[in-house]
Structure 1
Amino acid sequence: MRRWFGKSLKRKLSLLLLVAIVLPLLLTGMVSYQIASAITGDKAKQSGMNTLRQIAGKLEFIVQDVENMSIFLIGQRDIQAYLDSEQDDAVRYTMNVGFLTNLAFSKKYISNINITLASGRPPLNTTTVLRSGLPDVLKQHEQEYRGSIKWWSPVYENRTTEGVKTVFSLVRPVRNYNNFAELGTLSVSIDEEEIARYLAESGWEESGFVLLLDQNNHVLTSVDPKWLNRPVTDMIPNMPSMGEESGVLNEGEGKEQRTILYYTLPDRGWKLVGVIPTQIYKKQNSYVLMVTAVAVGLELLIASALVVYFVQWVTRPLTRLTQNMKDMNPDEPIPTFELRSTDEVGLLVRSYNKFSDRIQRLKEQVQRNEAMKKEADILALQAQINPHFLYNTLSSIHWTALMNKDPETAEMVGALSDFLRFSLNKGEEFCPVQQEVTHAQNYAYIQAIRFEGQFQIEFFIDPALLPLPMLKLLLQPLIENSLIHGIQKKAEPGSIYVHGELIGTQMRLIVEDTGLGMEPAKLSEIRRQLFAAGEGEPVQPSISYGLRNVHQRLLLHYGPDAGLVIESEPGKGTKVSFTIPVLETDGQ
């Protein structure tokens, strides 16, 4: 089998492409299924949690409304007057009962409003209660009730003329707002059936259920009345701990596994608990798996057909080329092959016909460029013959001059030492503009002492340029060229000006003198020789070594747009400039 594949590029390409397509498709299908399954579960949980938050919002509104109503009622003037009165007042009694009845009737979730009097007089009721379970609840939870200014009771029953009502109530004492004496007890009862209707109409999964638990994790409201007032563990035996404000828990195993979502109502400790059978969203995963498998299968069939077709189409020119090369004589020159194709195969054949000559020319060009760069760098750093000896000797001369009280000689030797130290600079090619300018100033200082009164030099450098990196040893050769070929050949003293400016992302440096200048013919010849030097051609000795060296190094390090630009007028002077890009670091 391996030999059968090895004899045909077409078979190998087909196999490799099929493997390269099939494996990613299978992996993509598996990952897509896993992601879709996770997303389905997360969406079900997120949707359930959003539903719990919506229910909690309604319950919070109801609870807050009841608490606000209770504060309003215990401070209502007519109710306070009736409770504080020592005599029965039928008119005021009837007026207060009517007020409370209207208030309770306007809110569907209120089952009854009751105010019992500490004096034992008839209580105020919005509903005729034949028997209330509240007294028993208050007696059972007396410590909790007495210890708070408002207390929510567990579920209990009120037997009224309309039948049995299951309620839970907000209970709080009513006090005189002048002397805070206890006048009675206010209880606002919420109809549990109405709250259960909210839970049933919340859009929860039909096979699941929602519970409202009190602060003791007993069922306060449920769609099934049999669960009321029972601990939640009776409905969910293996109920995990609900330690956070909200969260998602898992209970049970296998097909019996259920997802439990809970959300805590702020300030009361009540919890909304929603239960969803895990199988509900796992059934959706089966559908996702089927869709993924069908999609991957179709993609595999289409990909296989396309691979066979495209491999046949691509390898057809190579097959013909192979047949032509079978009978080729190795002792004869490699023949050229004509191919009309303009794609990569055609380019390959045409490139094969030309590659020998091309490689040779590229080799020669690379060798020439490397030789030019090495020559320029060696010439620029030729002063590194014996740096330690030079430094020690110059240091000795410097101290000897100071001991002999000859500060001018000491300063000149110090400048020379700094000049040489920068020139060597541990072999580094780049330096900040500030060091390059200082190096040029040291050179100018030494020459000013040698040729006292023959020239003056001024530097005008944009401060923004000073920290930027540049190729070193560029300014000093240009200043030396101006001094030797321009100023010293002139009878009267001259001036040299060094400018530096930042232009966008480039820096421009200029060395300008007031020397003899050059005739147009000589200027043209120098420009021509600089161009020839940039191309690697030999130049005549008439061109300054400094100009040639700087020009070549600029071209090699910064490219063809960075060479020297020379301008000159006879009798007026010469200006040499170059423009280089701003580099980010010294090492570039």
Structure 2
Amino acid sequence: MNTLSRLIQHSHLGFRWFQLKNYKIENKLLLTYPLLIIVSITVVSTFAIYFSMYLFQGKSKDNFQNVLKQISYNMDMQLKQQDLDTYLFIQDLEVKRFFNSNGIADSPESVQLKIDLRNLLTNYLLSHSNIERIVLINNHDEIVSNTDEPFPLSLAEYRQTAARGDGKMVWMKTQIWPDDKVVIPVLRQINDLSTLKSNGVLLLFVKEKIFRNSDFKGDLRVLEQDNYIISSNHADQIGSSYTLPNVSAFLSDTGSFIDKADGMFFSYYKSEYTHWTYLFSIPTKELYSGIEVVRNWVIVVAILFTVVGILLAKVIASNISKPLIQIIREMRNIEANDLSVNLNYNGNDELTSLATTFNNMMNRIRQLIERDSQLQRLKYELEMRALQAEINPHFLYNTLEAINWIGRIHKVNEICDITTMLADIMRYSINRSKDIVTIQEEYEHTKKYVGIQQIRYTDNLRVFMDIPKELLHARIPKLTLQPLVENAILHGFENKLEAGRIRILGFANQEFIKITIEDNGCGMTPEKVHTLLSPQELRMHTGIGFFNVHQRIRLLFGEPYGLDIRSELGRGTMIIITLPYHEVNDHVQSINY
């Protein structure tokens, strides 16, 4: 149980280590920066080393393949040329005489012939430095050679081996002579051109060292198809069978592989002419010796940069944390009611912006405190003025009520109607409890205003309203219709002799509600229409004008809504009010006035 508790405690501590919010900023930077630097440099260094090894290995494979291919090509060219040069002995008359001799070796003609042939063979060797010895053998086992050294094999074996080639070059296994000379016997059966029967054998002993290449640091072996070693840098391997470390690798004509068990790198190339395999091998340690130097330098540089990074992290963390500590200290002074605090920080970084913002905030706070103290001093005076403002409407309502009773006493109905409607209009206009009303409420207010104007203009003013019942409960800004009707009456019918007519119609679709106010007044020019919907109209109008109504609609409902004025000089004006559609009570009937 104690072990489980310790594990839980250690896991809790490890979890808290990852919660950097529990540490100071300087400690956070000192924890994260070096860790990120070490991880980054380690990842980059590891990638650089392995990528360098990959590239180096690829370049090495290509390089060895090209070198082996060039060696094979050069050897094939030499062997082909040597093969062509041996045709000299087929066409030479003295060689033919030797092959056609009757076997009398002691005759003067035979002795002289052998002397001439030895001179011929010696001259041939002078122009072919890669050949150690050359021998002619006829069917009577007579031989002619440039030297009198004995043969390691019987003449019958040479003749039988040459017969397998049927006129072509036949390579035998490598031989090591007593004087440590390493040669490779090559035989060609010489056939009579007329009968195609064997006349004898041409035997060449090619020097094995022609296959060696001093440019290689590793080992170069030449293998026959049965893996017999023709040539090798190690003399003790010549003449033996080579055991392949990776037999499947030789299924192709060229390639390379690594024998991890012995730590060796192998590259091979098979000749198309002789079908020999040129096998190169080198220890992987020597192959990657250059990579080890690169790896060591990368490690040294990584350690150096890690140390430098940690030191820089310490300096950067200190430079970042000190200004923050200063800001925190000043903020604590504010907690002690010291509002005269200002941060002095010089720089062009984010902390400068933070200090500037902090100072601006403090200046704003001091201004607000000063303003609040001034407002407190004026509070009593404002409250008194508000009480006085509430007295004036009551006095006006009482006055209108007195006029109304005077009209009733004298039975003047027009005075009664005007005072009643004017009182209702004032109550509607002064009431500030809500800014948005229903169309029916706005209609009732407009109806009372029109009633007063019709008493004034008698039969010279006719107003027609038709609003569908489904629109009566839709929302509309307060004092929208009445100001527009008022403008039509006061300005549209000015200097007009015939009776003024105003039509107020409403209709809607699924998106909009349209209310049109159309009059037969004097109309306006396009310039005048443009002025009415611009801020300039506010300076020209003392009441609630077109721009005021237009802006209130747009502020409440958005840009697509508002007023659209269409007017033609001398023919009247149409104002289109666009409002958003809302579902209304279907039981409210449409109003016709």
TM superposition score normalised by structure 2: 0.49
Larger Rg: 2
